[in-house]
Structure 1
Amino acid sequence: MNFSSFYNIGNQQPNLEFVDVRLNRDNMLFLDPRLIELHNDPFSKRMQERIAVFWGEFIKAVKAKNRKKTYEILGGLKEPAETRLGYANDNSRGNAVARKLKPKMIKAIEQNKAVMSGVLKHFCDIELFIEDVSSDRISDITTKIIKDVLIEFTQEQCKLYNIPMKSVWQEDIFDHNKVEWVKRKVLLPIYFGKPVILVPKNIVRLEGVAGQNFKCFYRFAVRNFIQYDHSMLEDVSGTGRGGKILLRDVQLEHPISKESLSNWVLKYGKLLVDYKSDILTDRLRVLSDREIMNIVYSEDLFQAG
């Protein structure tokens, strides 16, 4: 049962602005803060503002070693089940955001030189440097930070299609003006007693993209910086003809790790900037309707559409 069919909207994914989620199970799509940065519409700009405030205040608290404030800022990062995206119905994964990820994230950032030095300025870049942060974790965190904007987007869509809404309490709404998590009563559509929050289709990505970006960044670093730095090649044994050092030799000596990338962005000032401008910008793209349909529609409905 998809949102459009349950409410008899009369349109399918290509004619909808939101992800037409299946309501009774998870949809393997994930919010992408990089795509949010890519857009200039009013909703995206408000999302950008909240993410910037959250990340700025979080880093400020970490640098000040204010553990109380740090945990307060992370206080609302619990499983965002209302969107039906990612692993929303997997309680073990969802609860891990609150129970396991918070202390790991704080410790990792406290020990990360790229973050503490100010090189890592944008929340979306944590996928490149912080362990245990992948597509699903980034999506969960992003969803909670921009939850109030998503609620207003949902309300706009419901008014557009005359979808009934009910007043329900929603916890863990990030108030970016006060930098605190609040509880509010809001209007939302209800599916068998559970509220639904819609997500714009132009800000979601497929599973595993964070890992792909990380691996791509590593390869870029090795090919464009490490292999030309003689100090990094001193202990590399060349296996090419005449002892020539090949890329695989460099990778063997300097295996992929987020800790290495954190150190490299400090060593090479242009590394992160060049990667984002030369490679990452071209990799960013909005999913096609067909890609989304492959995820959210059953085979019969997909073929019918």
Structure 2
Amino acid sequence: MYNISTFFKIDGQQPKLEFVDIKLSTDNLLFIDPRLIEISDSAVAKEMQLRIEAFWGELIKAVRAKNQFRVNQLLSGLSEPHETRLGYSFSKHSGNSVGEKLKPKIIDAIQRNKAVRTGVLSHFSDVELFIEDIGCDRISDITTKIIKEVLVEYTQKQCELLEIPMTEVWQNDMFDYRTYKWATKKVFLPVFADKPIIFVPKNLVRLENSANSNLNSFYRFAIRNFISNDTEMLEDISPTGKNGEIKLRDVKGKHPLNKESLTNWSIKFGKLLVDYKSEYLNDRLNPLSDSEIMEIVYGQGYSQAS
């Protein structure tokens, strides 16, 4: 099993590298996290965020204008990215990615979503909280495609630094944030088994289960801090506590977790999403440690790192 470090004979493994030392011929169940890009102060992350904001801002504008042609054009480049080897690129689960069959479904979900239309969903990093069929795998794929140009440039600099040979290859779906168009370009990249490789900064990836944790955390925060304190939301709830006290389990039973509810609550309670991020989420956003990444790229599988 080759990793980048072993195949290219780099002196040192993951702790000495700035990028994820991926296994080259199979899945690496790590996912690019747009939240980590958003909070990073690195020059590379700022270039990525510039493209993410340009893409998402233009997409929202097209959705609100009901410009179907523009929406389809913007989302046309979101095919599965295989070059990073992250997520489900090589496995039988590749159907989880943003493929041609899934793309129309995601386009429809984005267009119909009230959080997008009302402006509640103004940050791309919050997409997974509100839009059905978009979890950590798909948000990672979409992010990868939007920032691909930056990742290619980052890879080239790392290759020059580490004296890794590169080959001129064609790359499709390179997003140009100045024109909002997708382009095909010839670029230089390292190659393994005749397939190009794109490196990903290790401080921008997360584990698979952290996405579900984020969704559940947002739900619990909403229940505790907003739903449980709103008399209208507590109507018709049968209390199970002593002396008729409504317990949290009663509120959850009446208002179970689903993204449609989270959307409606965020519209109803204008501070919900802002408070969640400032009072809960932001303090818990941290890059993975080298040891956590090593469990994935050198270990026997994701289950050992969960």
TM-score (norm 1): 0.95
Equivalent residue number for residue 10 of structure 1:
11
SS in 2 for 1:230: coil
Do structure 1's residue 160 and structure 2's residue 161 form an aligned pair?
yes
Contact 2:37 2:49 in 1 (8 A): yes
Equivalent residue number for residue 208 of structure 1:
209
In 2: Cα distance, 1:96 partner to 1:41 partner: 28
Equivalent residue number for residue 139 of structure 1:
140
The percentage of aligned residue pairs carrying the same residue is: 60
Equivalent positions of 1:1-305 (< 5 A) are 1-90=2-91, 93=94, 96-298=97-299
In 1: Cα distance, 2:209 partner to 2:83 partner: 22
For structure 2, the 5+ residue unaligned runs are 301-306
In 1: Cα distance, 2:278 partner to 2:231 partner: 25
In 2: Cα distance, 1:96 partner to 1:186 partner: 24
In 1: Cα distance, 2:30 partner to 2:71 partner: 29
Query: How many residues are matched?
Result: 299
Equivalent residue number for residue 303 of structure 1:
none
Shift of 1:167: 0.4
Contact 1:88 1:94 in 2 (8 A): no
Contact 2:26 2:91 in 1 (8 A): no
Distance 1:25 1:283, change over 3 A: same
Equivalent residue number for residue 302 of structure 1:
none
SS in 1 for 2:200: coil
Contact 1:32 1:203 in 2 (8 A): yes
In 2: Cα distance, 1:13 partner to 1:95 partner: 27
In 2: Cα distance, 1:297 partner to 1:95 partner: 24
Q: Which consecutive aligned stretches of 4+ in structure 1 deviate over 4 angstroms post-superposition?
A: none
In 1: Cα distance, 2:95 partner to 2:49 partner: 24
In 2: Cα distance, 1:246 partner to 1:76 partner: 47
Shift of 1:103: 2.0
In 2: Cα distance, 1:233 partner to 1:92 partner: 41
Q: Structure 2: which amino acid aligns with 1:37?
A: E
